[in-house]
Amino acid sequence: MRFVLGRPRPGVEFYGWSLLYQLPTMQGVAFVDPHTDLTDLPAVYESPLEVIDLADFLAARGVVTRPLVVVTQTEDFTGGRAGSGHRYRPCPRLSRPGDLDWLA
């Protein structure tokens, strides 16, 4: 299995990558593991290589996967901008979230 992962469109901030998976016995449903500490986020991997390694590991066992990018939202920031407080990271490295209308 081969994935080409890159940074999303300029101006879009993201936490990292997640992995959607579907076990061989599942039909019409797939899962993303939850984050171990933050109940509002899925499991997030900061390195795309981690996602590729996990996808390869699961593919060898017959599990279908798709990488996902977990993007920030304006609501994640107090006051709607970085630097004024962030609900997931005490010292945010993220700038103001970009417009995601292009995804629709």
In a domain, 21, yes or no: yes
In a domain, 100, yes or no: no
Please tell me the predicted confidence (pLDDT) of residue 2: 39
Tens-digit pLDDT profile for the chain (104 aa)?
334 455 545 566 777 899 999 999 988 999 999 988 888 889 989 888 999 999 999 999 999 999 998 877 777 776 545 455 666 665 556 665 666 665 55
Q: How many CB atoms lie within 10 A of CB 97?
A: 20
72 SS3 class: coil
In a domain, 3, yes or no: no
In a domain, 102, yes or no: no
Structure tokens at 31: 């899962």
In a domain, 39, yes or no: yes
Total domains in the fold of the chain: 1
Please tell me the predicted confidence (pLDDT) of residue 1: 35
Please tell me the predicted confidence (pLDDT) of residue 14: 77
In a domain, 101, yes or no: no
In a domain, 70, yes or no: yes
Q: Specify the DSSP class assigned to residue 98.
A: P
In a domain, 7, yes or no: no
Distance (Å, whole) CA 18 – CA 101:
21
Domain containing 45: what range? Answer: 14-95
Please tell me the predicted confidence (pLDDT) of residue 96: 56
